[in-house]
Chain A
């Protein structure tokens, strides 16, 4: 049950509210009704581009099919096979590593960097310098992942790769590695690249969030003797909590769907060490032409992403409602 708090502090049931609105006469129709028509093109596009293909894909996941010819109905067989598929679970384990590198690390680093750019660089070197640095951090987000991946594969190449050459040049030749070819290192190398790719996104969002924090809060905290770290912890973090929710949710979903970087850098190798669900689904679908099984993998992935999005949005809404005094 939803209650809104009016200015007099009285609570009014949302149901009562809705009834009041639905009693509007023909001539006194609430304006929000007429917005539905404007949503129609978008809703139709969503239906055609997202909903229908997803339902078709789900349908295919209950069949054994090679992409052409007649699909053979097999019910839940693909899903049962998935449950016992070690490669599938390994790819999901790798996904968790991707969540760390694409959501957790960039969010933490992005927070610290955003606060440093906003609070320190902006104040001491001017907002222009801060904006330039912000743009530099954001650049990897603008680069096509295929381009970034190829450049990183040059950097991480075992022979004549920039990183190994750099290590050699500074006398650390013993630390040279086959960054993408060693099964114990490849996943961490890809994670490193993904941190670089992803970092700009939270940084920009957090810097935008920091713009709307009331400077008086910082001034008050400073007068009370709070240092930079305490101001960050007690003022910055609580104030930009909505942005943190959005970034974490967005980046986690991106991490679960990651494909391009793995495709360009390692193709899931060496020996499956960097395989992720989307790439696993792709190879099953297109390389092995096990279309039904590939569809089952992508259906499971989609359901997980949807669940995560719903849970994330609910948590965010609840937190925002708590702040605004809305009780559900």
Chain B
């Protein structure tokens, strides 16, 4: 039987061992990234199973296993939020996959590249010719400099689809109220006036998520140019949040809420609510991204179409999420082979026909008329260098600020000037913390 004193000593020693082990484990270095068995490719992505990307990538998995006999793809479906919140910790551990989908942008892929958690893919990009397949606008989010700023430097990711925003409109409702497809911004405004007069809120919106502040950013983009975007997104100069573009955007957006183009009661609505509102024929217009396209094609019970935001050279959009190879990946060669398959014509054409925006498809192989239009509009944007990324990209946590401040603008608890002040303060702090 132990004496009380000895027991206390034993317990103290046990506690010390446990806590020291924990502390050491938490401070441990990640795997060097070699030593894989070459028989398993551990793959993570977070696309919903029925999306164009998931369909294409599932086909790529089959193709990969066919061309790599004896190699198994161990696919783990993840959630967007899950990856968003835990990627830095996971990639810093021994549990990192060989290949994963990750968000593009300074605050995400840029941040991880800066921390040395991602593999430099530059040599592979040249070797496989992936750079030749990506247009300048799409390529921007693949390269990051030493500070983790996109647009130049080493390749840390490869996108194999693109995304951009557009106006989705309900052709049946437009026809019912005798409104032609708007070709100019004035015509779009006139169309919205007509709907309001008929007691219909024209724009589907979700104030609790990205939809609202993307309307606002698009309004700013319609008065902006590439230098403005570079200043805001790539830190090439100091953005002026009270310039003509931002002021016009904030004032117009607040005005649209007052006029009833945007429902004041959509302040707490989520992006899903905005999409559903459009799909149910409640709101005739939704300005949002190509990620809705496949779902609308599958679920809309009315005739619908899309057009680019009128009288604007720039719109929100970029290369899609990236394939990244974690620094600690154990089977990097297999990961490169898989990326190459996803960039092949066969997989790219499939992605295009399923409602995605492929980056290297054969235009002749896209048979669906709506998908043809989607890709044609993207090509138009690419040719005029019109992809202006997303407003929340410049700094980590900026998304929440934009959501919160735009909600205040919608409810009238902040005036446009105060809105711009708040956005500027958050931007300056976020960029300074980078």
Known A48-B22, A266-B208, A269-B208; judge A180-B413 contact (CB<8 A).
no
Chain A contacts of B165 at CB under 8 A? none
Chain B contacts of A159 at CB under 8 A? 263, 265-266, 269, 273, 277, 282
**Interface residue B396 (Cβ < 8 Å from any Cβ of A):** yes
Contact with B along A105-129 (1 / 0, CB 8 A): 0000000000000000000000000
**Interface residue A4 (Cβ < 8 Å from any Cβ of B):** no
Known A44-B14, A270-B208; judge A287-B92 contact (CB<8 A).
no
B23 touches A68 (CB 8 A): no
B208 touches A47 (CB 8 A): no
B433 touches A290 (CB 8 A): yes
Q: Indicate the member of B4, B26, B265, B408 with the most A CB atoms within 10 Å.
A: B265
Contact of B267 among A43, A69, A181 (CB under 8 A): A181
Q: Indicate the member of A47, A48, A66, A181 with the most B CB atoms within 10 Å.
A: A181
A47 touches B15 (CB 8 A): yes
How many chain B residues sit at the interface, stated as a range, is 35 or more
Contact with B along A48-61 (1 / 0, CB 8 A): 10011001100000
Q: Indicate the member of B111, B115, B397 with the most A CB atoms within 10 Å.
A: B397
Q: What separation, in Å, do the CA atoms of A121 and B265 have in the docked complex?
A: 42
Q: What separation, in Å, do the CA atoms of A55 and B207 have in the docked complex?
A: 39
B268 touches A270 (CB 8 A): yes
A: number of interface residues (CB 8 Å): 40
Please, which residue of chain A has its CB at the minimum distance from the CB of B209?
A: A267
A182 touches B411 (CB 8 A): yes
**Interface residue A162 (Cβ < 8 Å from any Cβ of B):** no
**Interface residue B7 (Cβ < 8 Å from any Cβ of A):** yes
A169 to chain B, nearest CB (A): 18
Chain A contacts of B407 at CB under 8 A? 181, 183, 269-271
**Interface residue B244 (Cβ < 8 Å from any Cβ of A):** no
Q: What separation, in Å, do the CA atoms of A51 and B89 have in the docked complex?
A: 21
Known A266-B208, A267-B208; judge A272-B266 contact (CB<8 A).
no
Q: What separation, in Å, do the CA atoms of A298 and B299 have in the docked complex?
A: 44
**Interface residue B241 (Cβ < 8 Å from any Cβ of A):** no
**Interface residue B324 (Cβ < 8 Å from any Cβ of A):** no
Q: What separation, in Å, do the CA atoms of A55 and B16 have in the docked complex?
A: 13
Q: What separation, in Å, do the CA atoms of A48 and B17 have in the docked complex?
A: 11
The interface residues of chain A, by DSSP majority, are classed as: loop
Q: What separation, in Å, do the CA atoms of A33 and B5 have in the docked complex?
A: 11
Known A47-B18, A68-B117; judge A271-B404 contact (CB<8 A).
yes
B411 touches A289 (CB 8 A): no
A269 touches B403 (CB 8 A): yes
Q: What separation, in Å, do the CA atoms of A288 and B4 have in the docked complex?
A: 49
Q: Indicate the member of B91, B411, B430 with the most A CB atoms within 10 Å.
A: B411
Q: Indicate the member of A33, A44, A51, A183 with the most B CB atoms within 10 Å.
A: A183
**Interface residue B184 (Cβ < 8 Å from any Cβ of A):** no
Given contacts A44-B18, A181-B207, A267-B403, 17 further A-B contacts (CB under 8 A): A40-B14, A55-B19, A56-B26, A66-B88, A68-B91, A68-B117, A158-B269, A178-B268, A181-B266, A183-B413, A269-B404, A270-B407, A270-B408, A283-B397, A284-B397, A286-B84, A288-B430
Q: What are 24 pairs between A and B in contact, CB < 8 Å?
A: A48-B18, A56-B23, A67-B88, A68-B89, A68-B115, A158-B263, A159-B277, A181-B267, A181-B269, A182-B411, A186-B268, A266-B268, A267-B208, A270-B407, A270-B410, A271-B404, A271-B408, A271-B411, A271-B413, A287-B399, A288-B397, A289-B397, A290-B396, A290-B433
Q: Which 9 residue pairs of A and B lie closest in terms of their CB atoms, listed nearest first?
A: A288-B397, A181-B268, A181-B267, A158-B265, A271-B408, A270-B407, A180-B268, A68-B115, A178-B265
